[in-house]
């Protein structure tokens, strides 16, 4: 976050976009890890898990 304090105004948006993308990627990775945990608990054939995974993988791409 200290990068933002010293950034030129024209670079702040780029830094913010980079930061937000990193946070989004972390959340997505955590979500998919949770889905894998559900897969392991209830089995890969679980319709709900399959639908959630398919929906989120499409959104990630």
Q: Between 59 and 22, whose confidence is greater?
A: 22
Instruction: Return the pLDDT at 22.
Output: 92
pLDDT for residue 34: 80
Q: Residue 15: which of 60, 29, 30, 23 has the closest Cα?
A: 23
Residue 12 located in a structural domain: no
pLDDT exceeds cutoff 60 at 61: no
Residue 46 belongs to domain spanning: 28-61
Q: Please check whether residue 2 lies inside any domain of the structure.
A: no
Tokens 């499409």: give the residue.
Answer: 58
Please indicate, yes or no, if residue 52 is contained in any of the structural domains.
yes
Q: What is the pLDDT of residues 14-47, one digit of tens each?
A: 888 999 999 988 888 888 888 777 777 766 666 6
Residue at 61 is within a domain: yes
Burial environment of residue 29 by CB neighbours within 10 A (0 to 12, 13 to 18, 19 or more) = exposed
> How many structural domains are present in the chain?
1
């Amino acid at each position: 976050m200290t990068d933002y304090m010293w950034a030129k105004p024209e670079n702040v948006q780029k830094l913010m976009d980079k930061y937000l993308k990193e946070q989004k990627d972390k959340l997505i990775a955590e979500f998919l890890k949770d889905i894998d945990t559900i897969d392991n608990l209830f089995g890969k054939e679980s319709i709900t898990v399959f639908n959630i995974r398919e929906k989120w993988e499409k959104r990630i791409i």
